[in-house]
Amino acid sequence: MRISRHKRRFGAKAEEPRYNANLQIKSPEVQVIDETNVNLGPMPLSKALQIAEEREYDLVEVQPKAQPPLCKLLNLGQFRYEQEKMARKKKAQAQKILVKGVRLSLRIGEHDLEVRRKKSQDFLKDGNKVQIELILRGRERNQMDLARKLMEEFAKSLNTEEIKIKIEQPLQKQGGRLTMIVVKE
């Protein structure tokens, strides 16, 4: 059995921003905004921590790269919860585009070609990309011009009044395999 020494990153999550709070802040001077969004101005870190403790809030560094770093007085637990909630909402709204495959052959019948055309149009209506693939076997490899013509005609036939397609990846030849990717405009 082959031993893999590479770290697998299949389930790696996008790293969320980390916010330094209270004693984790390293800068000696910070710009402070209070809980009502009033700018208190730049001040030493010790004074900012004292103000946060008096008002029973956390001092959170929201812009660490600013000069001096920008800190806010807020409830850290509630702030993290709201950040996670916004991230989940963005992820839910992100449109997931899939590449759906349609495989043709050089000897494909007219009815089979029509079935694949309708299925491809359904994929395009759903907002997915369609990869058209044609595999040449054995002596079929000598018929490259015929295969190229079949692929181009199939791509043109996907254009209708309601669906206008655009070729995202032009026809590519890789060994005995021809591929093309089309998307809806």
Is the full-model pTM beyond 0.75? Answer: no
**pLDDT at residue 123 above 70?**
yes
- What is the crossing angle of helices 144-157 and 110-125, to 10°? 50
E-only strand ranges, the chain:
29-33, 39-44, 58-63, 70-74, 99-104, 129-135, 165-174, 177-184
pLDDT number for residue 10: 55
Q: Is the dihedral of CA 142, 148, 149, 151 positive or negative?
A: positive
Q: Which CATH number fits domain 99-184: 3.40.30.120, 3.30.110.10, 2.60.40.10, 3.40.50.300?
A: 3.30.110.10
Residue 84 has pLDDT above 80, yes or no: yes
CATH 3.30.110.10 boundaries in the chain: 99-184
- Residue 11, pLDDT above cutoff 60: no
Mean pLDDT confidence for 30-44: 87
Predicted local distance difference test score (pLDDT) of residue 3: 60
Reply yes or no on whether the pLDDT at 13 is more than 80. Answer: no
CATH of domain 22-92: 3.10.20.80
Average of per-residue pLDDT values in the chain: 86
Query: What is the average per-residue pLDDT within 33-39?
Result: 86
- Average pLDDT in the 136-154 region? 92
Work out the average pLDDT over 90-96: 80
Where in the sequence of the chain do the CATH 3.10.20.80 domains occur? 22-92
What pLDDT, on the 0 to 100 scale, is given for residue 40? 85
Q: How far apart are CA 74 and CA 32, in angstroms?
A: 11
DSSP class of residue 18 equals P
Check pLDDT > 90 for residue 132: yes
pLDDT at residue number 163: 85
> In whole angstroms, what is the distance from residue 120 CA to residue 102 CA?
7
